[in-house]
Structure 1
Amino acid sequence: MGLSRALVSSLRWKKRSWKAMIRGRRKRRRGGDDWIAPEIPWEIEIEIEILLRLPAKSLMRFKCVSKLWSCLIHSRYFCNRYLTVASPPQPPNLYMSLVDQLEPARVIVGTRESVLLSLSSSSSTDGAEYLSPDLILAQLGGLHMVVIRGLIFYSVPTEPCSIYNPTTGQFITLAAINPKISAPKGFSKHYSFGYDPVLDQYKVVCTFLIASKKRKRITSSEHWVYTVEAGGSWKRIEFNGPAHCPARPGLCINGVIYYLASTCMSRDIVVSFDVRSEEFNMTQAPDDALPAYGKPVGVGFIEYGGKPAILDHTNLVPMGLVELWVLEDGGKWSKKSLVLKPCQMHLVANNMSLLVHGTTINGEVILAPISFFSPYYILYYDLQNNDLRKVEIRGIPDHWFSKPDMNVLMYLTQLDESESIIHLEI
């Protein structure tokens, strides 16, 4: 407490210097707006270094100390520095979202039951690892969750998409879109979330599409982008490629969103969207990775070594075989095959269908059973070391297991809470 009072006293004496630092200056250049921080007195630099080493949740509480302190913690300058020096590093939490999927005709917007669980790792008396919720948030969460710099983006069928910051508690819902295309029985939509490190901007991309009655042929698609900022709105962008349906949530790698998509043609594609320039590009998927339309369950789209990759785990359960295609520089694909160790085959011996839920910060692939049952477990597959481990999830509210299995939609993602200090000001 003595340290906090000393810092508050020092901040008040240097109020003008603090405000000058936080406001900063912007210099217009052809490439965009570049942040230029003013010169900071060395005494303030020392105090900033102390604050940078506090846990994120403590900083959120310290916003109440004064307006000055709150302004500093929420400044872009402080947030961007915090991402590089925050300590001590806390183990990332796994977030689990459960949504009660009802018939569309019976759903009223805002009445669908959902819950978001923050799961932390623990160990039992026999040394077995398991996950249990340390936070349960009702009416939050959804499908296709994407985490970027501590922000959770998710969408729910028939409802607008949302962004949630677990540390600050800030929650926003984006405005609805009125697409130009129309169909007698409506259309479907798919979202992607990305971040541009150059302009320090978050953007959401939405794809609307219309398919034939049998949903085997996509007839048309339309693309919109939303810049997450004060006064942000949706705008339509052109795409010169074929109409397509995103088959998986997008990945954002170094300012580029990648997603796997199905087209009306026989071959699938990987679509890339540059968050800064808002331009699309396409790369043909390897023929042997996606041999038939409608094979999304056994195929995942993940980040591997800082590059987008297609993971085919169709034969993991019966044969212990996994195949990985990595998109290398220049648009070429490299293939890697893995065979599960015999001593770990019992982990996948129940013939359960699995779905890929992305990767952890350490690069492990998250695999989870499609059916929702108790006790529920997930698998972590380390592709680098070809190692598989099974972790049980405990503490899920019991009434979720009493729902019809096909009604419960579930999604998992991992979040590093040291990153979620980022202030999302709308």
Structure 2
Amino acid sequence: MENVQNKRRAKAVIETSFEALPLEIQTEILSRLPLKTLMKCICTSKKWASLIRTKEFINLYMSRSTTKPRLFFTIYQYNITTSSKPSRNISEVLFQSVYHEEEPLLSSGQQQVLLSPDLGYEASSPVRGLICHRLNTEFMIFNPGTNKSQHLAEIPLPNKSAPLRFFFGYDELTDVYKVLCVAEVTKEEQHVFTIGTNEAAWRQITCEHQHSPTPTAQGLCKEGVLYYRARSSTGRGLVMMFNVRSEEFSVSELPEDMNIENGWDVSNCRDPRGWELVKYINGADRAVALVDDSQFSHEVVYEWNWNKVFHIWVRNEVAGTWSRIRIEIPFYKKTVDVPTLYFFRGTTRTGKLVFSMKHFLPKIDGKISIYVYYYDPETKDLRQYKIQGGEKGHCLRFYLDHVDTPMLI
């Protein structure tokens, strides 16, 4: 008799529908699903769709996603015309991401999205799983994990052909995303768009510091502050800071001996004298740093033991100053694939230094192969990993700590 009752209970449990489970258990199960599965759930049930799109569920999903950060790559394929005035029209952009700091490293959870944008297309650095796209004066927020997007209002500029740079940021305390547009050396044409508000319009704000973002400036968002490289009206190199919450600008003066120049080699898709903003973690210190890409050129002389030595400038947020730090990688030249150039791209959350390619990706078996190096300062271990990319590519942009988000799903 007891066995019969147990079988009946087991059958009842099996036949219990998902909807019959308590809401907190449904939420817990859904929050552990990959993005593609969540998209199927939204199409399957209106109730699930309503639950997945709530603020509470998004926050829960993001809290799990941030514990499994991704490496994110943007591969640009150009149509290059050889003439007296060469053009480099974008034909395709491949967004690709993989999990990192897992085994097998750089091969699990791979995602790919291919776009074919028009001339004038630009993309921001990813922020909490989202990217801001720009095509002339039109903008949209894009989720590469779901291939979904949200169009923003067109920015109202009196001079639509004026040089314009844009940056995408997020403030943790207010849980707000904003897009900042900065015109060329002017106080009057700074605009901000707040995502997810009822305004749905650009607002003009004022910056008291005359500056122009460098043509290659990629914003770096850290703890509610947007950092980007710029130059003053006198041509001096600067790092500008924009507080996403208060919408106030501030300037970080750079040391005289940093010798930052602003140059852009359009034909080679690179900044020959480029300084990149990266996140640098050293123990408990989490800072913004500047690295000079020229230190990774072929002309750099290695030490007699083939160690790689380079320097970065790290910002002290409390004092507002920059300090020069020497970094040495033992036997770098013996391990790294020479003559390909690998540039320092920042540190992982566990403090590992990451080096990646930047442009002119080589093909292996008809496919682009992306190589990444991880260096552990504690164990002195330098390891190479390969990621299979797309069919073709000329320029690579590389970002750490990308995450999955159910926003715009």
Shorter-chain TM-score range:
0.7 to 0.9
Name the residue aligned to 1:396: 390
- 2:360 pairs with one of 371, 379, 383: 371
State whether structure 2 residue 20 is matched by structure 1 residue 6.
no
Name the residue aligned to 1:325: 313
Instruction: Map residues 216-235 of structure 1 onto 2, 5 A cutoff.
Output: 222-229=189-196, 230-235=198-203
How far did 1:86 drift?
5.6
Instruction: Map residues 308-347 of structure 1 onto 2, 5 A cutoff.
Output: 308-317=288-297, 318=300, 319=302, 320-328=308-316, 329-345=318-334, 347=336
Question: Quick one: structure 1 residues 113 and 159, their matched pair in 2 at CA, closer, same or farther if it must change by over 3 Å?
Answer: farther
Report the AA paired with residue 7 of structure 1.
Answer: F
Structure 1: 5+ residue stretches without partners:
11-42, 210-217, 402-407
Name the residue aligned to 2:276: 300
1:229-270 per-residue CA deviation (whole Å, 9 max, x = no partner) reads: 255211211000122224521111111111121223353111
SS at match of 2:28: helix
1:191-245 per-residue CA deviation (whole Å, 9 max, x = no partner) reads: 1101122222110011121xxxxxxxx5777311111125521121100012222
Give the whole-Å Cα distance in 2 for the aligned partners of 1:195 and 1:155: 18
- 1:257 pairs with one of 202, 221, 226: 226
Question: Quick one: structure 1 residues 160 and 390, their matched pair in 2 at CA, closer, same or farther if it must change by over 3 Å?
Answer: farther
Name the residue aligned to 1:152: 131
Give the whole-Å Cα distance in 2 for the aligned partners of 1:380 and 1:144: 25
Name the residue aligned to 1:244: 212
Give the whole-Å Cα distance in 1 for the aligned partners of 2:95 and 2:295: 31
After TM superposition, the structure 1 stretch with the greater mean CA deviation from structure 2, 293-302 or 72-81, is 293-302
1:173-200 per-residue CA deviation (whole Å, 9 max, x = no partner) reads: 4333232458xxx432111101122222
Percent identical pairs in the alignment equals 25
How far did 1:390 drift?
4.0
- 1:411 pairs with one of 379, 391, 397: 397
CA contact (8 A) 1:204 1:227 kept: yes
Give the whole-Å Cα distance in 1 for the aligned partners of 2:234 and 2:360: 31
Name the residue aligned to 1:421: 406
SS at match of 2:166: strand
CA contact (8 A) 1:144 1:249 kept: no
How far did 1:61 drift?
2.0
Instruction: Map residues 56-67 of structure 1 onto 2, 5 A cutoff.
Output: 56-67=35-46
- 1:135 pairs with one of 89, 108, 112: 112
How far did 1:373 drift?
3.7
How far did 1:345 drift?
4.5
Name the residue aligned to 1:39: none
Give the whole-Å Cα distance in 2 for the aligned partners of 1:8 and 1:106: 60
State whether structure 2 residue 350 is matched by structure 1 residue 380.
no
How far did 1:99 drift?
4.1
Name the residue aligned to 2:175: 200
Report the AA paired with residue 150 of structure 1.
Answer: G
Name the residue aligned to 1:212: none
Query: TM-score if structure 2 supplies the norm length?
Result: 0.73
SS at match of 1:148: coil
Question: Quick one: structure 1 residues 66 and 382, their matched pair in 2 at CA, closer, same or farther if it must change by over 3 Å?
Answer: same
SS at match of 1:177: coil
After TM superposition, the structure 1 stretch with the greater mean CA deviation from structure 2, 229-238 or 196-205, is 229-238
CA contact (8 A) 1:355 1:370 kept: no
Question: Quick one: structure 1 residues 162 and 100, their matched pair in 2 at CA, closer, same or farther if it must change by over 3 Å?
Answer: farther
Report the AA paired with residue 199 of structure 1.
Answer: T
How far did 1:338 drift?
1.2
Question: Quick one: structure 1 residues 206 and 357, their matched pair in 2 at CA, closer, same or farther if it must change by over 3 Å?
Answer: farther
Question: Quick one: structure 1 residues 128 and 410, their matched pair in 2 at CA, closer, same or farther if it must change by over 3 Å?
Answer: closer
Report the AA paired with residue 80 of structure 1.
Answer: N
CA contact (8 A) 2:182 2:190 kept: yes
Question: Quick one: structure 1 residues 119 and 202, their matched pair in 2 at CA, closer, same or farther if it must change by over 3 Å?
Answer: closer
CA contact (8 A) 2:280 2:346 kept: no
How far did 1:130 drift?
7.6
Question: Quick one: structure 1 residues 68 and 106, their matched pair in 2 at CA, closer, same or farther if it must change by over 3 Å?
Answer: farther
Name the residue aligned to 2:244: 275
Question: Quick one: structure 1 residues 205 and 114, their matched pair in 2 at CA, closer, same or farther if it must change by over 3 Å?
Answer: same
Name the residue aligned to 1:170: 148
Report the AA paired with residue 151 of structure 1.
Answer: L
